[in-house]
Chain A
């Protein structure tokens, strides 16, 4: 039931964001659409406690902020590489071990790597290893482990 309620709420918020109209009739319409989506999708019941929600949201905000800083830093790094007359790229594929347990965790991890410029997950192995193509594989390999540890710590705060 809780999973249904959550899905309806998410759909309602999305609908309100899209229509930008918070009249009662529009809210009712959004809720009805949300219920329709929930009935069609049948979300699996999962254990989630409402008490953990503020902590999870706070950790999500912290993770987003860290990701934004990482994106900007790597964006400037890639811009410098591209604009350098010598084009100093050392491309290659690097295996990064992802210790996330759930599929959603692995997907989020791969997304976090891919969204930063200069690194991109090309393939995901059976054991969750992320094969990442890097513009500068030497520099990325040097910093990969520390970055992965930070990512993992921040993401664990969201899920557990």
Chain B
């Protein structure tokens, strides 16, 4: 009985996780610039990967502690990565398309912006 419930929950998690992954990929294609696309990509990692790991934990009797650890690490590391990508994009001057509001405009110190830009140019050479 309990096994059946766990299995049904696992199937539900797989379906929902896959649906959110598909929506995330659609967003990645449809959204206009790097910042908005990061939101869509981040959704694949939080919902897609985490829910698939939940399904694995529920459906497979062993390796559940590793699965839980994977969920925690994905949820901890994913936001850090997208923060870094967004931060570097802003510092290298990637424009926001259709921005309604920008509280950060003119607040990046020129020194740090130039440092990131110099690094960027060096990589391109």
Contact = CB atoms under 8 A, between A and B. Distances in A.
B47 to A, nearest CB: 6
A115 B75 contact: yes
A122 B90 contact: yes
Given A71-B46, A75-B20, A89 B31 contact: yes
A89 B38 CA distance: 14
Q: Per DSSP, are chain B's interface residues mostly helix, strand or loop, or mixed?
A: helix
B60 to A, nearest CB: 12
A115 B78 contact: yes
A118 B104 contact: no
B29 to A, nearest CB: 10
B83 to A, nearest CB: 5
B39 A118 contact: yes
Contact of B104 (A87, A119, A122): A122
Contacts of B31: 82, 87, 89
Contacts of A82: 23-24, 26-27, 30-31, 40
B100 to A, nearest CB: 4
Contact of A121 (B47, B62, B83, B98): B83
B8 to A, nearest CB: 19
Nearest to A138: B100
Interface of B: 20, 23-24, 26-27, 30-33, 35-36, 38-40, 42-43, 46-47, 62-63, 65-66, 68-69, 75-76, 78-80, 82-83, 86-87, 90, 96-105, 107-108
Given A78-B27, A122-B86, 7 more contacts: A75-B20, A91-B96, A115-B75, A117-B42, A120-B42, A121-B86, A138-B100
18 contacts: A16-B65, A78-B27, A82-B27, A82-B30, A87-B30, A89-B36, A91-B33, A91-B35, A91-B36, A91-B98, A91-B100, A111-B79, A111-B80, A114-B80, A119-B39, A120-B42, A123-B87, A125-B107
Interface of A: 14, 16-18, 20, 71, 75, 78-79, 82-83, 87, 89-95, 110-111, 114-115, 117-123, 125, 131, 133, 135, 137-138, 141
Nearest 8 pairs of A and B residues by beta carbon: A92-B101, A114-B79, A95-B103, A82-B27, A17-B65, A131-B104, A92-B100, A122-B86
